[in-house]
Every structure is written in C-alpha cells, then in structure tokens.
Amino acid sequence: MNSLWGVILATMVKDIRLEWRSKDALNSMLFFSLLVVVIFMFSFDPLAEESRHIVGGLVWVGFLFASVTALNQTWARELRNQVLDAYRVSPGPANALFLAKAMGNFIFVSVLEALMTPLFVIFYNVRVLGPAWQLLPIAILGTWALVVNGTFFAAMSLRTHSREIMLPLLLFPISIPAVVSMVAGTTAILTGEESAHFYIVLLLTYDVVFTTACLALFGMILHAE
C-alpha cells in the first residue's frame, strides 16, 4: 500500500512540476476554452433568462473540448526517452501510474475550471436560482468522470496511428451519460426548476463504475505489446 501511494505521489509531483515549469497543457487549455466562450457568445448572444438554460451546456462542452488538449499530452510526455517502457519493466504497480496521471489531469482541469467559470458568469450574466453549493459536487464528480476515462483512452490511443484524433473519437461516445448528467444537473441548479440530486447520484455511479473498469483494465493496456 505504501509503495502504491509512494509511486502515485512521486509521479504526480513530477507531472505537476513539469507542468509548472512548461505550462504547456494549462496554457493551451485556457486559451482554447477562452476561444470557446467568445465564439459561443458571438453565435448565441443570449438574454439572461435564455442563458440560464444554455450556459450549463456551453460550460461543459467548453471544458470537455479543452480537457482533450491536456489529456492528449498526458502520455505523449512519457514516450520521449522511452519513459513508458521504463515504467513497464519497473516493479511499480500499473494502477499507481494510472491514478497518478488521472489525479494530475484532475488538478489541471480543476484549475482550468476555477479560472474559466468567472468568465462564463461575466459574459453570460448568470445568476443562480437554485442551491449554488450543489454545483461543487457536480463539478468535482463531472471533472473526475471526464478525466478518468480520458486518461484511460489517451493511454489506449497511444497505440494507434494518429492518436491526437483517436482520443476524442473514443472518449466522447463513452462520456455521453456523464455529459448529459453534468449539463442537466447544472441547468437544474441554475434555473432552480428541479432537483439535481438524481444527476449527482448518477455522476457518482458513473465515476465508481468507470474508475473500477479503468483500474481493472489499465494493466492490460499498459502491457499490451
């Protein structure tokens, strides 16, 4: 157990340090989602009442697209200098590597969300009518849902030609229930018309199911040669 957390912590700290120095993933994500905000604003130009209904969808679609740019770089980094091959022959558990990568991505996407959400609020004049604190569990569970499958499929698409294109093709169909719950839950809270409890429970189920599936199958994906 100790070695599991040791490997997780070491890999995650290394990733965060790399990101802190280069800021590759975060900068591209931030600029990308800023563009999404601006383009959506020009294409819809909504009133305050309308925006309450659509902004949940816009926010999450923006984050979904932006997170793909970060997820694509997760494993590509390890291909240089055969780092991934070194992992494969090392005695460290495969799942520790996966969890470290997923947690690292979770932190990056959370930072993105924390920085971009105020912009959405400003540009679309959003005022929350429902219980606003429920947005937090939706954000946490939703981000984990995107990131855990994204990390897994990014590892999977490493083994394909044109892997940058493969990741969204694999990730988006599987993410549909998570995206539906995130969007519907956020809209429910923003409009205050219905309860978001069902969607939070659904997101939790999604997270538990797919985290288990990822952990069960990641070793196979890593060692598939």
d(CA 63, CA 150): 12
Positions 119 through 178 that interact with other proteins (CB under 8 A): 149, 156, 159-162, 166, 169-170, 172-174, 176-178
Candidates 30, 71, 184, 190; binder of other proteins (CB under 8 A) is 184
Measure the CA–CA gap between 155 and 174, rounded to whole angstroms: 15
Cβ distance to other proteins smaller for residue 112 or 182:
182
Stretch that binds other proteins, among 76-84, 115-123, 126-134, 196-204 (CB under 8 A): 196-204
**Angle formed at CA 47 by CA 61 and CA 146, multiple of 5 degrees:** 15
Q: Does 1 bind other proteins (CB under 8 A)?
A: no
Nearer to other proteins, 43 or 162 (CB): 162
The continuous run of DSSP H or E covering 191 comes out as helix 163-191
User: Which secondary-structure segment (H or E) carries 149?
Assistant: helix 135-157
198 binds other proteins (CB under 8 A): yes
Alpha helices in 45-93 (DSSP H): 48-79, 83-89
Binding of residue 107 to other proteins (CB under 8 A): no
- Residue from 76, 180, 204, 215 in contact with other proteins (CB under 8 A): 180
Instruction: Considering only the stretches 5-13, 46-54, 65-73, 212-220, report the one whose residues sit in contact with other proteins under the rule CB under 8 A.
Output: 212-220
CB 151 within 8 A of CB 108: no
Q: How far apart are CA 141 and CA 208, in angstroms?
A: 10
CA distance linking residue 178 with residue 60, whole number of Å: 10
When asked if residue 118 is in the footprint of other proteins (CB under 8 A), the reply is no
Interface mask toward other proteins for 59-78; x: CB under 8 A: --------------------
Which two tokens mark 12?
Answer: 């995650």
For other proteins, the closer of residues 49 and 225 by Cβ is 225
Nearer to other proteins, 28 or 195 (CB): 195
Q: What is the DSSP string of 100-129?
A: HHHHHHHHHHHHHHHHHHHHHHHHHT----
> What is the closest distance, in whole angstroms, from the C-beta atom of residue 171 to other proteins in the complex?
9
User: How far is residue 37 CA from its own chain's centroid?
Assistant: 17
- Tell me if 209 contacts other proteins by CB under 8 A: yes
Pairwise CA distance, residues 109 & 68, whole Å: 10
What residue ranges bind other proteins (CB under 8 A)?
149, 156, 159-162, 166, 169-170, 172-174, 176-178, 180-181, 184, 198-199, 202, 205-206, 209-210, 213, 217, 220-221, 224-225
